Amino acid sequence: MRTRLPFLAPPLSRPAEVTHSGAMAEVAAGPRPEDCPGTSSAQAGSAAACQGCPNQRLCAAGAAAPDPAELAELRERLRSVKHTVLVLSGKGGVGKSTFSALLAHGLAADEAKQYVEENLGVMSVGFLLSSPDDAVIWRGPKKNGLIKQFLRDVDWGEIDYLIVDTPPGTSDEHLSIVQYLSATHIDGAVIITTPQEVSLQDVRKEINFCHKVKLPIIGVVENMSGFICPKCKNESQIFPPTTGGAEKMCQNLNVSLLGKVPLDPQIGKSCDKGQSFLSEAPESPATLSYRSIIQRIQEYCDQQHFQEEKII
């Protein structure tokens, strides 16, 4: 039996989602300059290249590095976490949280028993609200404090994988989680997109963000990639990849394409019932794609772990 595998999630019901502040909305206004000094630089937000950048104020406010004592505390708390994977998306509505949940289910599954409930845990700000209808309207400092509290105060225990389901876009939450987790180790990020260009535009910015903060990219997943009729088995493109989809984008940006997951109405039904789609529809084309993607993520993380042990 594998050790318990939790994932850090946003609120589980949509009314309780964190409402984006003005600063967060500003981040998505445009791309970063090519000569951006990066968020870890002492010149973040103040360099010549920062003038006119939509992220200038955010970078300037968050340029200071985390307190060394805090990093040491986080390092001690997370020392028993073997792998950490961030799940990112350029925009909302692409299935990032669904993918995060199914990734956690797939990684935690005991193949002999097909039973993951005792092998899987979840922590969410939604659990801290008095009502599922409550809105969480916090500015940057309070949100960042909650992220730090989650990492520091939750008793994660001995776990193989910590899956962090992040908000859409590139915001202060992403900067904070990367800074805090730099005290330990981040295997990398999985980026979720859909085939249409409006989604790919934001994903390109997300990839640029990862490069700037030196966050390794495990690969990209194209979600909602066609619909395969369960009766006639013909495939239809609900969201046409008019510019080549994730495959073309990954080729252009030299990023790995982990796989494509087709639409399946059973995914939503399983999520609504709190069940694992992977177990409910084991022969679905979407399940087969999920399992292939999860295997590639496992292989990547295992290779990272092997290389680190070799260096040590």
Tell me which of 45-59, 119-133, 212-226 is least confident: 45-59
Retrieve residue 255's tokens.
Answer: 């990023």
Return all residues near 225 (Cβ < 8 A) that are at least 6 apart: 194, 195, 239, 245, 246, 260, 261, 262, 263
Residue, of 118 and 266, whose pLDDT is higher: 266
- For residues 141-150, give the mean pLDDT: 81
Rounded Cα distance between 177 and 179, Å, is: 5
Tell me which of 41-45, 48-52, 206-210, 265-269 is least confident: 41-45
- Residue 312: pLDDT band (50, 70, 90) is low
Q: What was the pLDDT predicted at 28?
A: 34
- For residues 154-183, give the mean pLDDT: 84
Q: What was the pLDDT predicted at 61?
A: 58
- Helix axis angle, 245-253 relative to 197-212, nearest 10°? 30
Does residue 2 fall inside a structural domain? no
- Residue 195: pLDDT band (50, 70, 90) is very high
- Residue 179: pLDDT band (50, 70, 90) is confident
CATH number reported for the structural domain that contains residue 116 in this entry: 3.40.50.300
Does residue 233 fall inside a structural domain? yes
Question: Is pLDDT at 254 greater than 50 in this prediction?
Answer: yes
Does residue 4 fall inside a structural domain? no
Domain count, the chain: 1
- pTM (2 decimals)? 0.77
Q: What was the pLDDT predicted at 12?
A: 37
Retrieve residue 13's tokens.
Answer: 């019901």
Q: What was the pLDDT predicted at 150?
A: 84
Question: Is pLDDT at 311 greater than 90 in this prediction?
Answer: no
Which residues are bridge partners to 136 per DSSP?
Answer: 18
- For residues 81-98, give the mean pLDDT: 91
- Residue 75: pLDDT band (50, 70, 90) is confident
Q: Which structural domain range is residue 296 located in?
A: 9-26+36-311
Q: What was the pLDDT predicted at 13?
A: 34
Does residue 166 fall inside a structural domain? yes
Tell me which of 6-10, 84-88, 109-113, 114-118 is least confident: 6-10
Q: What was the pLDDT predicted at 21?
A: 29
- For residues 101-114, give the mean pLDDT: 76
Q: What was the pLDDT predicted at 54?
A: 60
Does residue 131 fall inside a structural domain? yes
- Give the per-residue SS3 of the chain: CCCCEEEEECCCCHHHCECCCHHHHHHCCCCCCCCCCCCCCCCCCCCHHHCCCCCHHHHHHCCCCCCHHHHHHHHHHCCCEEEEEEEEECCCCCCHHHHHHHHHHHHHCCCCCCCCHHHEEEEEHHHHCCCCCCCECCCHHHHHHHHHHHHHHCCCCCEEEEEEECCCCCCHHHHHHHHHHCCCCCCEEEEEECCCHHHHHHHHHHHHHHHHCCCCEEEEEEEEEEEECCCCCCEECCCCCCCCHHHHHHHHHCCCEEEEEEECHHHHHHHHCCCCHHHHCCCCHHHHHHHHHHHHHHHHHHHHHHHHHHHC
Does residue 100 fall inside a structural domain? yes
Does residue 3 fall inside a structural domain? no
Question: Is pLDDT at 218 greater than 90 in this prediction?
Answer: yes
Question: Is pLDDT at 30 greater than 90 in this prediction?
Answer: no
Rounded to a whole number of angstroms, the CA Rg of the chain reads: 19
- For residues 143-167, give the mean pLDDT: 85
Question: Is pLDDT at 217 greater than 80 in this prediction?
Answer: yes
Q: What was the pLDDT predicted at 297?
A: 95
Return all residues near 43 (Cβ < 8 A) that are at least 6 apart: 37, 50, 63
Does residue 49 fall inside a structural domain? yes
Closest among 159, 48, 165 to 99, alpha carbons compared? 165
Average pLDDT, the chain: 79
Question: Is pLDDT at 252 greater than 90 in this prediction?
Answer: yes
Question: Is pLDDT at 20 greater than 90 in this prediction?
Answer: no
Question: Is pLDDT at 291 greater than 90 in this prediction?
Answer: yes
Q: What was the pLDDT predicted at 228?
A: 81
Please write the tens of the pLDDT for every residue from 235-251.
Answer: 888 898 989 999 999 99
∠ CA 22-23-29, nearest 5°, is 90
